[in-house]
């Protein structure tokens, strides 16, 4: 029968774990992009903690972060090896749900401020394009200030290698890598003009930013008809209003695009081909596998 001291220790350990739970779920959510999988990863950390000698752990919060990181890394690697057909941000027909606000005794002020920010759909999509080790290095270091020495132990590499992985991931996420061959600023201005006109339902403004021979298609034309001509495309402006209102700008394989969850249509991205000051082609990308294979970077506001 459990004595009073052992019972007290178990209760203390459970309270400590619950204090860390919001932060751990936030780490796992950013790693896995799925609130359900994040909860499973944190629960696995609790099971491992309960089976360990907690009294011998000098830094319990750090130990739990390491365990959650390893669980998530294993899950990402299994996901890659299985080449799953859907990205987690598209599960159940829509974006994953953000875990509860991870503020609390376990969070330092800087981390709490970072965690208070919502995780955008566009960020989750970009994170999904990273290699598992890159994603872990970026999430743990840039979002949770975990030292590279600790990250190196999780991924089985040197701290220098962990730093390089985070740097590569940061360039992808923040769009600070090699400048693209096209003029992104010019493309963005044209696309933003299109989105503004779509939001306002302004037919004339839409026609003005579209090439007379513009084409619009879905996933390379394999699904649905191809629309040709500025007037025909502008006439369906209502189709783009949801994307225009809720979308986030990204750079997709060197072209400016906008990604959003479009209600019953699910999550999709519009990719624009811009020549001069006109849009010459527009493609709606709805296939999760294709999105995962694209080079995506966020375009900051």
* Model pTM above 0.75: no
pLDDT in tens, 21-66: 999 999 999 998 888 899 999 999 999 998 888 888 889 999 999 9
Which region holds residue 282: left if phi is over 0, alpha if psi is between -120 and 50, else beta? Answer: beta
Which has the closest alpha carbon to 272: 257, 286, 259, 260? 257
pLDDT means per 10 residues, the chain with 301 residues, are: 54 89 92 89 92 86 93 88 48 43 42 46 79 91 90 90 88 61 78 89 89 81 68 76 79 85 67 89 82 76 52
| The two structure tokens encoding residue 39 | 């909860």
Q: What is the DSSP letter of 139?
A: I
Q: What is the spatial distance between Cα 189 and Cα 279, in angstroms, rounded to a whole number? A: 11
Please give the C-alpha separations between residue 132 and each of 44, 143, 216, 239, in angstroms, as whole numbers: 19, 16, 34, 36
Tell me the domains of the chain and their CATH numbers: 4-174 (no CATH), 184-298 (3.10.450.50)
């Amino acid at each position: 029968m459990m004595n009073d001291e052992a019972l007290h220790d178990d209760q203390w350990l459970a309270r400590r774990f619950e204090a860390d739970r919001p932060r751990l779920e936030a780490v796992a959510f950013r790693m896995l992009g799925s609130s359900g999988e994040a909860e499973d990863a944190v629960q696995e950390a609790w099971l491992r903690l309960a089976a360990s000698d907690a009294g011998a752990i000098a830094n319990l919060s750090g130990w739990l972060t390491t365990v959650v990181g390893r669980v998530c890394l294993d899950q990402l690697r299994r996901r890659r090896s299985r080449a799953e057909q859907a990205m987690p941000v598209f599960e159940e027909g829509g974006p994953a749900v953000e875990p509860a606000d991870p503020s609390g005794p376990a969070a330092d002020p800087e981390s709490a401020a970072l965690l208070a920010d919502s995780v955008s759909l566009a960020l989750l999509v970009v994170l999904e394009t990273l290699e598992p080790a890159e994603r872990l290095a970026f999430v743990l270091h840039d979002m949770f200030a975990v030292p590279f020495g600790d990250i190196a132990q999780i991924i089985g590499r040197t701290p220098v290698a962990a730093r390089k992985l985070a740097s590569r991931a940061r360039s992808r996420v923040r769009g600070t890598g090699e400048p693209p061959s096209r003029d992104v600023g010019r493309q963005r201005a044209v696309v933003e003009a299109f989105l503004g006109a779509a939001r306002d339902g302004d037919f004339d403004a839409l026609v003005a930013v579209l090439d007379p021979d513009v084409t619009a298609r879905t996933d390379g034309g394999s699904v649905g008809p191809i629309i040709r001509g500025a007037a025909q495309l502008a006439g369906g402006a209502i189709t783009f209003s949801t994307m225009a209102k809720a979308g986030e700008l990204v750079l997709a394989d060197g072209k400016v695009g906008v990604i959003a969850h479009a209600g019953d249509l699910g999550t999709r991205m519009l990719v624009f081909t811009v020549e001069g000051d006109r849009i010459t082609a527009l493609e709606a990308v709805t296939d999760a596998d294709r999105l995962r294979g694209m080079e995506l970077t966020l375009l900051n506001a």
